[in-house]
Structure 1
Amino acid sequence: MRFATVLVTSILSFLSIITFPAGGATTTLQLNDDVLGLIVFKSGFHSDPLKSLDSWNEDDDSPCAWRFVKCNAGNSRVSEVSLDGLSLSGKIGRGLEKLQSLKVLSLSNNNLTGAVNPGLALIPNLERLNLSRNSLSGDVPSSFSDASSLQFLDLSQNLLSGPLPDNIFQNCSSLRLRTLDLSNNAFSGSVPIGMSAVHNLKELLLNRNQFSGSVPPDIGLCPHLSRIDFSNNLFTGTIPASLQKLNSLNFLNLSFNFLTGDFPQWIGSQTTTAAAFEYIDFSNNALTGTLPATIGDLKSLKFLSLSENKLSGPLPNSLSGLASLSVIRLKGNAFNGTIPNGLFDMKLDEIDLSRNNLAGPIPPASSKLFETLQVLDLSENNLAGDIPAEMGLFGKLTYLNLSWNQLESRLPPEIGYFQNLTVLDLRSSGLIGSIPGDICDSSSLAILQLDGNSLTGQIPYEIGNCSSLYLLSLSHNNLSGTIPESMSLLTKLKILKLEVNQLTGEIPQQLGKLENLLIANVSYNRLVGRLPAGGIFQTLDSSAIEGNLGICSPLLTGPCKLNVPKPLVLDPYAYGNQNGAHDRARERSTNFRHHRFLSVSSIVAISAAAVIAAGVMVITLLNASARRRMAFVDNALESMCSSSTRSGNLTAGKLILFDSKSSLDWLSTNLDNVLNKAAEIGEGVFGTVYRAGQGQAMVAIKKLVTSNTLQYQEEFDREIRILAKARHPNLIPLRGYYWTPQLQLLVSDYAVQGSLQAKLHEHSPSSMPLTWPDRFKIVLGTAKGLSHLHHSFRPPIVHYNVKPSNILLDENLNPKISDFGLARILTKLDKHVMSSRFQSAPGYVAPELACQSLRVNEKCDVYGFGVLVLELVTGRRPVEYGEDNVVILSDHVRVMLERGNVLDCVDLEMGEYPEEEVLPVVKLALVCTSQIPSSRPSMAEVVQILEVIKTPLPNRM
C-alpha cells in the first residue's frame, strides 16, 4: 500500500509538469488529475471495513461514476466528495489539492487520526469542509486564514488542542467564512481578536473547549453574526457591550463559564437585537444585578436560561409579553416578590423558578398552559396558598416539583388526572388532608415524594395502580391504617419510605415479592407481626423497623405481637410472653434465628472463601513458571530499553500528544530519563507507572506490558484515541502515547493526592482520615465516572479493573478513575492476564470471571464498585487472611446486616456519620456484589440511587 502511494504520487507529480497543447488533450489531463488525486487521497486510509471505496479504480478515465463523488455537469470535474459515517480509518493525506473544482469535502463521523492537513486550505474553490466527529489532533493550521473561498468549516468533536493561530481572524479580509465550528475539542488560551475582518461570519461555535480570558470585545463587529456559542469554557470578565450591535443575532449561549458583572441592561432595548433574539443562555456563571423590564421586548425569544447566577430583585411583569417563549429557567438565584400572573397565561413548555425567594400564591393557569406545559419546578421558595385545582388539567406535564414551600394546601382530587406525569415531588410543602385514591390513575408515575407533610388518613388501596413507581416516599406524615396489600403490584419499586407515621397492623407478606426493592424503611409506626419472608425484608437492619408496637424480629428488644386467630395455640417461648419469660423467649428466638442463618449464609460464605482460596492456589502453582518467563521477558525488555536509550534508538518512536500543551513539550526530549526505578510510583496488571516532570507539568507515564498488546500502531492508535475521547470530571484524561514495537507508553495527568488505596490503607498516623462526606463524594464521583464509560459509548468502555489503587484523588479529594478500558488494547484476555488479575486484585473480581467465562461486560465493573464501596465504609480490605481463616468483606458485611448490627462494621476513623445515608449505601453495595450479574443494577441506576440517598435539606434561615 505504501509503495502504491509513493508510485501514484510520483505519477501525479510527473503529470503536473507536462504541457499539452490546447484542445481535447487538456480535458483528458484534467480528468486524470481528479482520478489520480482521489486515488492518492484514498491511499491514506488503512481501513475501509464497509468497502465503501471499492468503486474507486485508478484505471477509470473519470471518477464521476464513483460512489460518494459528485461532478459538475458543465465541466465533468469533481465538485463534491462526501464520505460521512463510513468507519474509515487513517489519515487525511495528499491529492485533493489537484481537484480544482472541488467545492464540498465532508469526512465527518469516521475514525480519522493525525493532524489536519494544511494542504486542504489550498484547494482553490473549496467552500464547505466538514471534518467533525473524528480523532484528529494537533493545532488548527494557520493556512486556513488564507482560504478565501471557504464558507463552512466544521472541526467539532475531535481531539484538537492548543491555542488558535493569532492570525486566524486578522488575515481574513478576503475570507468568505460563514460558519466556524470548533466545538467539543480541547482548545485553550484566549480567542484571538480581529473578528471584524471576517465580515461574512454568521455562526461561531467554540463551545466545550478550554478557552480562557475574556469574551473578545470586538465580537460585536461581525455584523452578520446570528449564532454564538461559547458555553462550557473558562471565560471570565463581563459580557461585552459590543454584542448589542449585532442586529441579526438570534442565538447566544455563554453558559458554564466564569462571567461576572451585572446582567446586561441593554438586552431588549431599541438599539439591540430585540427583534431577532430566539435563544439566550447565561446559566452557571456569576452574574449579578436585576432583570430589566425591557427584556419583555424580545418578542422572538423562545428559550431563556439564567439559572445558577446571583441575580436578584423581582421578576418583571414584562416577561408575560414574550409571546414566543417556550422555556424559562431562572433557578438558583435570589429573585424575590411574586410570580407574575401573566407567566401562567402563556404557551410554555418548561417553567423552572426553583431555589429562589419567591413568595405569594401559585398563579392560576390558563388553557394555553394546559396544552403545552411539560416541566414545572417551583421548589425551594416561600410560596403559600392552595395548589390550584386546574393543575390536574396539564395534559402534557411530566415533571411537577412544588417541594419545600409553605403551601398548607390539600392535594386536589384533580392531581390524578395527569396522563404523562413521571415525577411528582411535594416534599415538605405543608400539605394537609388525605392522599387522593386516584393519584396514580395515569400509571406513568415513576417518583412520588410526599414526605415531610401533615397528611392524614390511609394510604389508598389504589396505590397499586402506580405500576411504574421507582421511588415511593410517604415518610414523616400522620398516615394511619394498614399498609395496603396492593403495594405488592409495584414490581419496579426500588425505594420505599414509610417511616414516622401512624401505620398499624402487619406488613403484608406479599411485599416480599418485590424483587427490585433495594431500600425500605417502616420505622416509628404502630406495626406488629412478622416481616415478609422474601425480598429485602429479611435483611433490614434494626433502624428500618424500630419504633413500632411489636414487629417480630430478633433484631428488636421489644415485644412481638402477632395478629392470629384465637384458637391457634402458639409456643409460649417462640416470640415471648407476658409472664416474666420474655428475656428467655427472646434469647431462644434469637438463637434459633442465628443458628438457622449459620446453616445457610455462613456455609455459602465459607464455601465461597474456600473456592476462591483454592482457585488462587491452583492459578499460582500453574502460573509459577509463566511468571518466571514473564519476569525474564520483562528484564530482557528493560535491558533492550536501556540499551536503546544509550544508543539513541528510543527516539526512533514518536510521542503523540492529544493535547499539545506547552507544559508537555519537554516530554518529547526527556523520554530517555523517564523509565528509571526512582521515578516508579506503582505497578499493576497492565504495566508500571512512573512520575515525570515538576509542578504544573507533572504527568504520569504508564509503561505497558508489551506482550499480548496490539502489534500494529494503527490499531493501537485507534483504540487509544477512543479512550482519549472519554472526558469526564471523574476520569483521568489520557494526554498521549509513545509507541514502538518494543515499548508502549501512555501519558496521563498526575493526581496530587495519590490513590484511594494509599489514602485509605497506607496513610500515616498523623494524616487526617477520610470523613464520611469525603467518602460519599468518592463513592458518587466514582459511580458517575463508571456510568459515563458504560452509557456514553457504544460499545461501552469496560474498566475491567475497578479497585482503590485505580481511583486517584485530586487536591479536593475528587475521585478520578484511571486505567479505564485498557483491556481494549489486548489481543485477547489470556491466562496470564487473568491470573495476574486475581493475584493483584483479590476480592474485586466478579464471580463470572472466576469461572473463566471471560464475559467482560459492565456488570463486572459494578461488582468491583460494590466491593470498593464496602471498603470505603468499613475501612477494611476486601479479603483479609487470618491464622486459620479467610474473611471476605462482602460476606462479612452481609452477615452483620442480617444480624442487625451492620453499623459495627463502620470505620470508626471517619468520625460522626448519618446512619440514614450509611445504611442505604451499604445495602446498595451488597446489591452490586450480587453473585448473579443480572441482579446487579446498572451504573446509571447506581448514580440515581446515590443521588436520592444524598438529598440535602435546603438551608432555611
Structure 2
Amino acid sequence: MFKDAISLSFFLFLAVSVTADPTFNDDVLGLIVFKAGLDDPFSKLASWNAEDTDPCNWVGCICDPVTNRVTELRLDAFSLSGHIGRGLLRLQFLHTLILSNNNLTGTLNPEFPHLASLQVIDFSGNHLSGRIPDGFFEQCGSLRSVSLANNKLTGALPVSVSYCSTLNHLNLSSNQLSGRLPRDIWFLITLKSLDFSDNLLQGQIPDGLGALYDLHLINLSSNWFSGDVPSDIGRCSSLKSIDFSDNYLSGNLPESMKTLGSCSSIRLQGNSLTGEIPDWIGDIATLETLDLSANNFSGNVPFSLGNLEFLKQVNLSTNMLTGELPHTISNCSNLISIDVSKNSFTGDVLKWIFSESSSLSRFTLHKRSGNDTILPIVGFLQGLRVLDLSSNAFSGELPSNIWILTSLVQLNLSTNSLFGSIPTAIGELKLAEILDLSSNLFNGTIPSAIGGAVSLKELNLQRNRLSGQIPAHVSNCSALNTIDLSENELSGGIPGSIGSLSNLEYIDLSRNNLSGSLPKEIEKLSHLTTFNISHNKITGELPAGGFFNTIPLSAVTGNPSLCGSVVNRSCLSVHPKPIVLNPNSSNPTNDHAFSGQIRKNVLSISALIAIGAAAFIAIGVVVVTLLNVHAKSTVARHDTAATLALSIGETFSCSPSKDQEFGKLVMFSGEADVFDTTGADALLNKDCELGRGGFGVVYKTNLQDGRPVAVKKLTVSGLIKSQEEFEREMRKLGKLRHMNVVELKGYYWTQSLQLLINDFVSGGSLYRHLHGDESVCLTWRQRFSIIIGIARGLAYLHGNNITHYNLKATNVLINATGEAKVSDFGLARLLASALDRCVLSGKVQSALGYTAPEFACRTVKITDKCDVYGFGILVLEVVTGKRPVEYAEDDVVVLCETVREGLEEGRVEECVDGRLRGNFPTEEAIPVIKLGLVCGSQVPSNRPEMEEVVKILELIQCPSHDLE
C-alpha cells in the first residue's frame, strides 16, 4: 500500500513536470513510474534517472534511432521484485517487453496487449498468480509471441486467446492452468510453436489440430489429457517436434502421422497407448528422437525402424514388446541412446549389433601398431553412449569385441539370462560410467581388466554366479561411488586397495564366500552410506569410528567370527607375551625371589586400584547426598511450572541466576499459573504417557480451567545449547494457526529441560486409525478428507518456510470430527546445526519407509521435497491400508513398489484397501494413487510442490459422490 502511494506521488509529480518541460516524453514518465513500483536489490536500474529527458541510454532500453522512442524493454534476470505497474502503458511505441526470470508477483494486467505496437511479451520465470484475465487476449493487436511460462497462474485458459490471429508463439507451460483445452485454440492458424506443458489441463485434445499448417512445435506434456492422439495431426506438415508425454492418452497411433515428413522428435512416453508400433514409423525419414516408453505397446519392433538413418535416441522401454530386436537397427549409425528395457524381448543379446548382416561388416578394421588389438577406422554405433537392454529375456554371451562400442557411458544388461564369462574387453570401455550386468547367469571371475574402465561410477554385478577373488585393480576406477557384488560365489579377502576409492558411498558384498579380516584401509572411506558384508566368512573386529559407529546389524550379520559391539560379540584382547621362567635354571632361589617380587607388585597395584575405587565411591555418595538436599530445598520453593518439570523426572540447571534455576514458562495466550498441581503430578503416572518419538515423550495433562494439553518432554535437550535460538524458533512456531496443523500453546525452558505445550487432539494418531488394535475401517470419504487435510497442513508449513522432515502416520493426528492435523514439526530445523544428516535420517526419519532417498546422499540439498516424498508414501498408506514396509515370512514388501507394479500391470484398483469392498469412486481413487506415486518419486525435482498437490486434490475430488 505504501509503495502504491509512492508510485502515485511519482506519477503526479512527473505529470506536472511534463507540462513544465516539453522535452520530457511519456517514455521517461512511464519508466520512472514503473521503477517506483519495483524492488531493485542490486541497483540494476541505477541509470534510470527522473532528471533525464532521454531514456535511450538507460539499461535495458532500446530506442528507435529516428524517433528516439523506446521500442524494446529487456530486463531479463535483473532480480527485480514487485508488481508490473501501469506505467509501462505510456510506452506507446513499445513492441518488445521482456521481464522474464525475475521475482515479480501479482496478477496479469489485461491492458498490456492493448498497446497497438506490442509484438512480444515475455513474463516467464516469475511468481505471477491468479487467472489469465479474458481481457488479456481480447485486443491483442499485433502480438507475435507471448510467454507466461514458469509462473503460478491458475484457472481455465480463456477462450479469447483464439482472437490473436497474428500469434506465432504461445508458451503457458509450467503453471497450474486447469480445465479443458478450448476448441477455438486451433483458430490460431499462424502458430509456429505451442507449449502448454506441465499444467493441470484435462479432457480430450479437441479435433482441428490439423488446421495449423505452419506449426513446428507442440508440447502438451505433463497434463491430464485423455482420449486419442488427434487423428488429423498428420496434416500439420511442418511439425518438427511433438510432445504429448505423461498424460492419459490411449488408443493406437493415428496413421496420419506417417505424413509428418519434417518431424525430428516424437515423445509420447508415459501414456496408455496400445497396439503395435506401426511399420510406417520408418517413413518419417527425418526422425531423430523416438520415445514411446511407458505405454502398452505390444508385438514386434518393425524392421522399418532401420530406415531412420538420422535416428539418435530411441526409447521403447516399459511396454509389452516381444520377439527379437531387428538387425536393421544397425543401419541407424547415428544412434547415441537405445533403451528397450522392461519388455519381453528374446534372442541373442547383441546379435542385432554384431551379426554378419549388420553394417559393421562394411567398415574396415586395422591393427594398432605394436599389439594385436583391432581398432575400427570407422565403426558401427561409434557414438552410442547409452545402451539399456535390462529386464527382458535376452540370452547368449557377451561378445569379446564389445570394446567396439567405444563411446558407451551407460551399459545396462541386467535381469536377463546372459551366461558365460565377462570378457576382458569390458575394460576397454574407457568412457563407461555405469556398468550393470546384475541378475544374469554370468560365471567365471571378475576380470582384473575391469580396472581399465577408469571412468566407472557404478559397478553392479550382483546376483550372478561369479567366483574367484575381487580384483585389486578395481581401485583404478577412482570415480567409483557404487560397488554391488552381492549374491555371487566370490571368495578370498576384501582387497585393501578399495580404501583408495575416496568417492565410494555404497558397497554391497553380501552373500558370498569372502573371508579374512576387514582391511584397515576401509576406515578411510568418509562418504560411506551403505557397507554390507552380511552372510560371508569375515573374521576379526569391525573398524571403529565414522560410518562404522552407526552400521546396522543387518549389514554384518551372518559372519560367525566377526566381533565388535554391533554384533554384540567381544573381541579377544591382545596380551603381551607372558614371562617364561627357565625350568633348568641353576639358581632356583633367585627364581623364587623373582616370582615373589611379581606377586608383590601385582598385589600392590591391585590394592591401589581397590583403594582408589573405594575413595571414588565414597566421594560420589557424599556428592549425591548434597545434591539431593539441595534439590529438596529447591522443590519447596518451586513455582507451578517447575513442579510440572520435576514431575516428569528432570532436575534444573545449577545456575546462580534465579530465573535460569527455576526455568522459564511462556504461554502464547498470556495465561499464568496455567497448570494445576494434580495435573502436573499426574505426569508421574505411566498412564499419562501418550507416545514416544524421535525427539521426546508426550504426556497428557490439564490446564487449570480443565482444558487438556499435550506436553512433549524433549529427550534431545542436551543438543539445544542456545536459549535464544530455542525461544526464537518457539515464537515462530507459536504464531502458526491452521485447521490442519497442531497448535503450539507454549513452552518451558531450562538448560537441561525443554517442554513443548501443544493443543491436545482427542482422536489419536492416523497410525492408530489405520493399523491399531482398535482400528476401524475408514470410509473413502474419510480417507480423502485426511489426505487433503495433510496436504493443506504441509502446504501451510512450507508457505511459512518450515520443513517438517519427520512426516509419518504417527505424526498425523485426527480430531473428533475426523480432521487431520500435522504435528511434531519444526524440531529438526532447531537441531539441524547440532545433528548431521546421518543422525537426522535415523533420529528424525525413524519410521522405515517414509525417508526420502536424498537423505542417503550428502551432496544433495535437503528441501521441502523430502516432505513431499513422505506425503506420497502416506497417501498410498491411507488408500491401501498397508504399512509402507511390511515383512512377509521370507520377503520384504515395499508399498510404493507394489503399488507401482499394480499400476504398470493395470491392477491399480486392486491396490485400494480391500475392506472398502469396491465402495469407492474409481475416478477419485486412481488419480489419488497416481498422485501418491508422483509425490513419492525417487528424484526430488519430479515431485510437485505441496501447494500444487492441494490444487490437484481439489480437482480430483468429486463432490457428487458421497460414499460412506
Output the TM-score relative to the length of structure 2: 0.63
- 1:169-193 per-position Cα deviation (integer Å, ceiling 9, x unaligned): 1x34xx3110000001110001111
Q: Aligned partners of 1:106, 1:842: CA distance in 2, in Å?
A: 40
Could you tell me which residue of structure 1 aligns to residue 346 of structure 2? 359
Q: Aligned partners of 2:172, 2:102: CA distance in 1, in Å?
A: 17
* CA drift at 1:803: 5.7
Q: Aligned partners of 2:170, 2:27: CA distance in 1, in Å?
A: 28
Could you tell me which residue of structure 2 aligns to residue 522 of structure 1? 533
User: 1:402 is aligned with what amino acid?
Assistant: L
Secondary structure of the residue aligned to 1:167 is helix
* CA drift at 1:465: 1.9
How do 1:777-816 and structure 2 match up within 5 A? 799=803, 802=806
* CA drift at 1:226: 0.8
* CA drift at 1:264: 2.4
- Aligned in 2, Cα 1:49/1:623: closer, same or farther, shift over 3 Å? farther
- 1:788-829 per-position Cα deviation (integer Å, ceiling 9, x unaligned): x99xx9xx977277565997699xxxxx9989xxxxxxxxxx
From 387, 392, 405, the counterpart of 1:381: 392
Could you tell me which residue of structure 2 aligns to residue 332 of structure 1? 318
- Contact between 1:457 and 1:479, CA under 8 Å: does it hold in 2? yes
Could you tell me which residue of structure 2 aligns to residue 148 of structure 1? 141
* CA drift at 1:266: 3.0
User: 1:309 is aligned with what amino acid?
Assistant: N
Secondary structure of the residue aligned to 1:400 is strand
- Aligned in 2, Cα 1:805/1:353: closer, same or farther, shift over 3 Å? closer
- Aligned in 2, Cα 1:331/1:203: closer, same or farther, shift over 3 Å? same
Q: Aligned partners of 2:422, 2:763: CA distance in 1, in Å?
A: 51
- Aligned in 2, Cα 1:12/1:848: closer, same or farther, shift over 3 Å? closer
User: 2:340 is aligned with what amino acid?
Assistant: L
Could you tell me which residue of structure 1 aligns to residue 612 of structure 2? none
Secondary structure of the residue aligned to 2:121 is strand
- Aligned in 2, Cα 1:305/1:153: closer, same or farther, shift over 3 Å? same
Q: Aligned partners of 1:70, 1:82: CA distance in 2, in Å?
A: 8
Q: Aligned partners of 1:359, 1:801: CA distance in 2, in Å?
A: 45
* CA drift at 1:916: 8.5
Could you tell me which residue of structure 1 aligns to residue 103 of structure 2? 111
- Contact between 2:517 and 2:540, CA under 8 Å: does it hold in 1? yes
Secondary structure of the residue aligned to 1:364 is helix
- Contact between 1:208 and 1:233, CA under 8 Å: does it hold in 2? yes
Secondary structure of the residue aligned to 2:411 is strand
Structure 1 position 505 matched with structure 2 position 516: yes
Unaligned runs of 5+ residues in structure 2 are 355-359, 361-377, 581-644, 674-706, 713-729, 747-760, 779-785, 815-819, 852-881, 895-934, 943-964
Secondary structure of the residue aligned to 2:299 is strand
Name the stretch that deviates more: 756-765 or 516-525: 756-765
Could you tell me which residue of structure 1 aligns to residue 919 of structure 2? none
- Aligned in 2, Cα 1:113/1:432: closer, same or farther, shift over 3 Å? same
User: 1:217 is aligned with what amino acid?
Assistant: D
- Contact between 1:844 and 1:867, CA under 8 Å: does it hold in 2? no
Larger radius of gyration: 2
- Contact between 2:322 and 2:346, CA under 8 Å: does it hold in 1? yes
**RMSD of aligned C-alpha atoms?**
4.9
How do 1:576-725 and structure 2 match up within 5 A? 622=660, 628=666, 630-632=668-670, 685-691=733-739, 700=740
Could you tell me which residue of structure 1 aligns to residue 93 of structure 2? 101
Could you tell me which residue of structure 2 aligns to residue 285 of structure 1? 271
Q: Aligned partners of 2:182, 2:653: CA distance in 1, in Å?
A: 60
User: 2:531 is aligned with what amino acid?
Assistant: A
Q: Aligned partners of 2:195, 2:650: CA distance in 1, in Å?
A: 57
- 1:26-47 per-position Cα deviation (integer Å, ceiling 9, x unaligned): xx969612221222222221x1
Structure 1 position 177 matched with structure 2 position 225: no
Q: Aligned partners of 1:805, 1:518: CA distance in 2, in Å?
A: 26
* CA drift at 1:321: 1.3
Could you tell me which residue of structure 1 aligns to residue 291 of structure 2? 305
Structure 1 position 482 matched with structure 2 position 496: no
From 107, 128, 132, the counterpart of 1:136: 128
- Aligned in 2, Cα 1:846/1:423: closer, same or farther, shift over 3 Å? farther
User: 2:485 is aligned with what amino acid?
Assistant: L
Q: Aligned partners of 2:24, 2:826: CA distance in 1, in Å?
A: 66
- Aligned in 2, Cα 1:559/1:42: closer, same or farther, shift over 3 Å? closer
- 1:524-546 per-position Cα deviation (integer Å, ceiling 9, x unaligned): 33444444455555665554444
From 208, 226, 231, the counterpart of 2:216: 226
- Aligned in 2, Cα 1:8/1:261: closer, same or farther, shift over 3 Å? same
Q: Aligned partners of 1:107, 1:242: CA distance in 2, in Å?
A: 37
- Aligned in 2, Cα 1:849/1:918: closer, same or farther, shift over 3 Å? farther
Q: Aligned partners of 2:431, 2:763: CA distance in 1, in Å?
A: 46
Q: Aligned partners of 1:349, 1:329: CA distance in 2, in Å?
A: 11
* CA drift at 1:494: 2.4
User: 1:283 is aligned with what amino acid?
Assistant: Q
Q: Aligned partners of 1:913, 1:52: CA distance in 2, in Å?
A: 63
Could you tell me which residue of structure 2 aligns to residue 912 of structure 1? 887
Could you tell me which residue of structure 2 aligns to residue 439 of structure 1? 450
Q: Aligned partners of 2:262, 2:86: CA distance in 1, in Å?
A: 43
Structure 1 position 215 matched with structure 2 position 205: yes
- Aligned in 2, Cα 1:688/1:533: closer, same or farther, shift over 3 Å? closer
From 32, 57, 80, the counterpart of 1:39: 32
Could you tell me which residue of structure 2 aligns to residue 258 of structure 1? 248
Secondary structure of the residue aligned to 1:870 is coil
Secondary structure of the residue aligned to 1:241 is coil
- Aligned in 2, Cα 1:943/1:209: closer, same or farther, shift over 3 Å? closer
From 436, 456, 466, the counterpart of 1:455: 466
* CA drift at 1:320: 1.4
User: 2:199 is aligned with what amino acid?
Assistant: N
Unaligned runs of 5+ residues in structure 1 are 19-24, 571-608, 636-676, 692-699, 707-752, 771-777, 811-815, 820-839, 851-858, 876-906, 920-939, 948-957
How do 1:763-842 and structure 2 match up within 5 A? 765-767=773-775, 799=803, 802=806
Secondary structure of the residue aligned to 1:685 is helix
- Contact between 1:687 and 1:705, CA under 8 Å: does it hold in 2? no
- Contact between 2:742 and 2:822, CA under 8 Å: does it hold in 1? no
Name the stretch that deviates more: 507-516 or 460-469: 507-516
Q: Aligned partners of 1:491, 1:872: CA distance in 2, in Å?
A: 29
- Contact between 2:125 and 2:151, CA under 8 Å: does it hold in 1? yes
Name the stretch that deviates more: 57-66 or 241-250: 57-66
Secondary structure of the residue aligned to 2:843 is helix
Same amino acid, percent of matched pairs? 33
Output the TM-score relative to the length of structure 1: 0.64
- Aligned in 2, Cα 1:115/1:381: closer, same or farther, shift over 3 Å? same
- Aligned in 2, Cα 1:488/1:65: closer, same or farther, shift over 3 Å? closer
Could you tell me which residue of structure 2 aligns to residue 60 of structure 1? 52
Name the stretch that deviates more: 141-150 or 109-118: 141-150
- Aligned in 2, Cα 1:627/1:154: closer, same or farther, shift over 3 Å? farther
Secondary structure of the residue aligned to 1:439 is helix
* CA drift at 1:418: 1.7
Q: Aligned partners of 2:193, 2:741: CA distance in 1, in Å?
A: 40
* CA drift at 1:337: 1.0
User: 1:226 is aligned with what amino acid?
Assistant: H
- Aligned in 2, Cα 1:756/1:42: closer, same or farther, shift over 3 Å? farther
User: 2:173 is aligned with what amino acid?
Assistant: S
Secondary structure of the residue aligned to 2:483 is strand
